[in-house]
Structure 1
Amino acid sequence: MATDTLSPPSATGPAITLVDVVKDFGGARDAAAVRGVDLSIGEGEFFSLLGPSGCGKTTTLRMIAGFEEPTGGQILLHGRDMVGVPANKRDINMVFQSYALFPHLSVADNVAFGLRRKRVPRDEIRDRVEKILRTVELTDKADRRPRELSGGQQQRVALARALVNRPRALLLDEPLGALDLKLRQSMQLELKRIQREVGITFIYVTHDQAEALTMSDRIAVMNNGLVEQVAPPQEVYERPATAFVAGFIGTSNLISGHLTSADAGTGVLDLGDGQRVTVPLHGSHRVGAGVELTVRPEKITLTTGPADTASRLRGTVREVVYLGTSTSYTVDTATGAQMTVFQPNDGTAAVDPARGDTVWLSWATAHSYLLTTAPAPTAAAADAASPAPR
């Protein structure tokens, strides 16, 4: 499991801390839904749990909320252990994909519902409801019923209803999943604006990589019950910690090879069939070690002849797909690896190849990133050291 080496943005200490949290629904630990998760989430941070279905992200969120109890580990809210504390005693609110608004109540009454149950004074209820409706830009819809609102407006009512209680953290379980694409993209920006204005901690669960990249201060990428990387969006995208992260976040090309030389932060990677590329070195990569090179499709340039760069491969175009703003090319390289290339449709592309054409793929050395895999299958490498830890 990758460790979280980045400090949360708040200087006041973490809002929520998870220490070796495990959730086992009855099987062995290695088959548990959550397997030893460690996280530190900063005060006022927009933090996303990202991963495919079944990776443990919603189970983790439900344990923070108090709807599930962990099998092991600690969940600390502002330093206080919440394990065993009922959900209604945690000063945390949760927003679900289904908004669960009361159809017979107005927007204002839906938002005020929780405050009335807590017997908050009437004048305070009015003031707090008016303020939060201004924040979510629904003041003019206060007297409407939910059926009179769009999906995005209903989502903002659900958000206002949670925020009006002034929780110390807000948990959101794929709240935009029911919206169409254009509205979902619009609401991503709205959610980030609202979170910035109210200033409380948001923990957001999603399987949508673009959504997480758009809104988050940091992202925890989960896979099979484990956290594989915790980092800001740009670092997760540009410097993935594992092959899974590289493949799950956007589109990435993975090429296996062996490091043949290393000098002053730069190495040469042998990809087979006489193909070699220059790569930047980070961490401890041993000469002779087996590695995977990852490079994003938009970083690659296609030409008809070899470019004047140390990172280039020859290949044959297998498929061409027009995507609107760009065209996607699938290229079978001479190394046997299949690579994807995105070229913008803005008139700047050097070539416009068709299926079956021979092309050269090239990219800046700085756009390569190495992921350590197995050691090289040579006696010298095997005797030199054991495989590097993941």
Structure 2
Amino acid sequence: MTDVTTPPAIELRGVSKWYAADPDTPPAVDAIDLAIAPGEFFSLLGPSGCGKSTTLRMIAGFEHPDSGDIRLGGTSVVDLPPNRRDINMVFQNYALFPHLSVFDNIAYGLKRKRVPRAEIQSRVAEIVELMELGPTAKRRPRALSGGQQQRVALARALVNRPRALLLDEPLGALDLKLRQAMQTELKRIQREVGITFVYVTHDQGEALVMSDRIAVMDAGRVQQLGTPEEIYQRPSNRFVAGFIGSSNLLRGTVSGVADGIATVDVGAGDRVLVLVREGLVEAGREAHLTVRPERVTLTGHSADVTALSTTRCHLRGRVAEIAFLGTYTSFQVHTLIGATIVVHRQNHSDHDLTPAVGDDVLLHWDAGDSHALG
């Protein structure tokens, strides 16, 4: 059981930052509150300009907040310079010293701190083994691959044993295959060293794969905070639903509520159902909802909708586009209500119907797979 008296590794309380002189200009970071647990892999996720990198730089001490407090281990550091915050940062360009060997790049911070030579040798050897950099220890950075350079940058930061490690899109310069491999490596390394990682990315896939929790940011604010599963399966609003993965957005008027299920009138004689969420789904109100593409079943247009379970939604439409994507096929269906619905169907499964562009189809899914949005 977690000790409830242990303070967060990193805590932000009402932190805001303005760059524009005009006070009416929206802040880059707008009064955000965060509490990041010791040993947590925490990601700040969002589009360019959402405030995630500014937030990271304020934690590091490279930017000063205009209001609010930043605490490390329960102690305010808002007025401390970066070199006194017991945290390290890894940047996208790695910032390795080209004239130094891998060993000396990693040892650089320890030498600056005047750590005894024997301890430097021991600590560098330990981190070199963890990072699987042994054969490269005498090489210069220019002789390394992108993935190896990224590991050296990580090793140089971790060898100082900081309270937390801040990572600003460190995989952005790598190609797709190497980036995916390094996602697994980063999570393994974080788990083995047990240090709090705060990771900034605009790549939702990276955040979902690696994170214990994610703060989704937009316009300087945290739009949703939760585990990858919570954010993907139960987005809090339309921005999160649209930004995380593929999502089908629908809207209509709630025509009735019974047994915890709301019926949403979307027109064209189709039926959309959603489980009731307090304050979001009420009779007579407009409702916005989402359903993920992999939750939608695609069948022939002639299917009898009366044979469907009373808890199944259904829409009719026509296939507009088909894309084969390896493990699954994506169908874009223009529905009678005017919405375009995307369906992802796994290619390893047997299907009664293989539609072509222009075919009329029936789409259906369970009410529990509809999710009401704020």
Q: How many Å apart are 1:282 and its aligned residue?
A: 2.5
> Is the CA contact 1:343–1:349 (under 8 Å) kept in the aligned structure 2?
no
Q: State the SS of the aligned residue for 1:324.
A: coil
Shift in CA distance, 220/306, structure 1 to aligned 2, threshold 3 Å? farther
Q: State the SS of the aligned residue for 2:171.
A: coil
Provide TM-score, normalisation by structure 1.
0.91
| Amino acid across the alignment from 2:145 | S
The question of 1:22 aligning with 2:24 is answered no
The question of 1:169 aligning with 2:171 is answered no
Q: Deviations over 1:178-208 (max 9, x none)?
A: 0000000000000000000000100000000
Q: How many Å apart are 1:264 and its aligned residue?
A: 3.1
For the residues of structure 2 that align with 1:106 and 1:9, how far apart are their CA atoms? 42
The question of 1:248 aligning with 2:250 is answered no
- Residue of structure 2 aligned with 1:369, choices 348, 366, 371: 371
- Identity among equivalent positions (%) equals 59
In structure 2, the partner of 1:155 is: 150
The question of 1:37 aligning with 2:32 is answered yes
Structure 1, 36-45 or 260-269: larger mean CA deviation: 260-269
For the residues of structure 1 that align with 2:60 and 2:351, how far apart are their CA atoms? 50
The question of 1:261 aligning with 2:251 is answered no
Q: Deviations over 1:240-298 (max 9, x none)?
A: 00100000001000000122222332211111222222211233322111111100011
Structure 1, 49-58 or 269-278: larger mean CA deviation: 269-278
Q: State the SS of the aligned residue for 2:119.
A: helix
| Amino acid across the alignment from 1:20 | G
In structure 1, the partner of 2:355 is: 353
Structure 1, 99-108 or 302-311: larger mean CA deviation: 302-311
> Is the CA contact 1:306–1:312 (under 8 Å) kept in the aligned structure 2?
no
In structure 1, the partner of 2:181 is: 186
Q: Deviations over 1:340-369 (max 9, x none)?
A: 111112242332111111000111221110
- Residue of structure 2 aligned with 1:238, choices 233, 236, 247: 233
Q: Deviations over 1:36-68 (max 9, x none)?
A: 111111110000000000000000000000000
Q: Deviations over 1:287-312 (max 9, x none)?
A: 11111110001111110024514211
| Amino acid across the alignment from 1:313 | L
> Is the CA contact 1:29–1:35 (under 8 Å) kept in the aligned structure 2?
no
Provide TM-score, normalisation by structure 2.
0.95
For the residues of structure 2 that align with 1:75 and 1:347, how far apart are their CA atoms? 51
Aligned length: 365
In structure 2, the partner of 1:327 is: 329
> Is the CA contact 1:10–1:43 (under 8 Å) kept in the aligned structure 2?
no
In structure 2, the partner of 1:205 is: 200
For the residues of structure 1 that align with 2:263 and 2:184, how far apart are their CA atoms? 42
Q: State the SS of the aligned residue for 1:237.
A: helix
For the residues of structure 1 that align with 2:19 and 2:154, how far apart are their CA atoms? 31
- Residue of structure 1 aligned with 2:57, choices 55, 62, 68: 62
The question of 1:129 aligning with 2:131 is answered no
Shift in CA distance, 134/246, structure 1 to aligned 2, threshold 3 Å? same
The question of 1:222 aligning with 2:224 is answered no
In structure 2, the partner of 1:301 is: 297
Shift in CA distance, 306/134, structure 1 to aligned 2, threshold 3 Å? farther
| Amino acid across the alignment from 2:295 | K
| Amino acid across the alignment from 1:15 | A
Q: Deviations over 1:124-180 (max 9, x none)?
A: 101110111111111222112212211101100000000001100000000000000
- Residue of structure 2 aligned with 1:341, choices 343, 349, 353: 343
Q: State the SS of the aligned residue for 2:9.
A: strand
**Structure 2 stretches lacking a partner, 5+ long:** none
Q: State the SS of the aligned residue for 2:326.
A: coil
In structure 1, the partner of 2:72 is: 77
| Amino acid across the alignment from 2:164 | A
In structure 2, the partner of 1:291 is: 287
Structure 1, 258-267 or 131-140: larger mean CA deviation: 258-267
For the residues of structure 2 that align with 1:167 and 1:348, how far apart are their CA atoms? 52
Shift in CA distance, 228/368, structure 1 to aligned 2, threshold 3 Å? same
Q: How many Å apart are 1:35 and its aligned residue?
A: 0.8
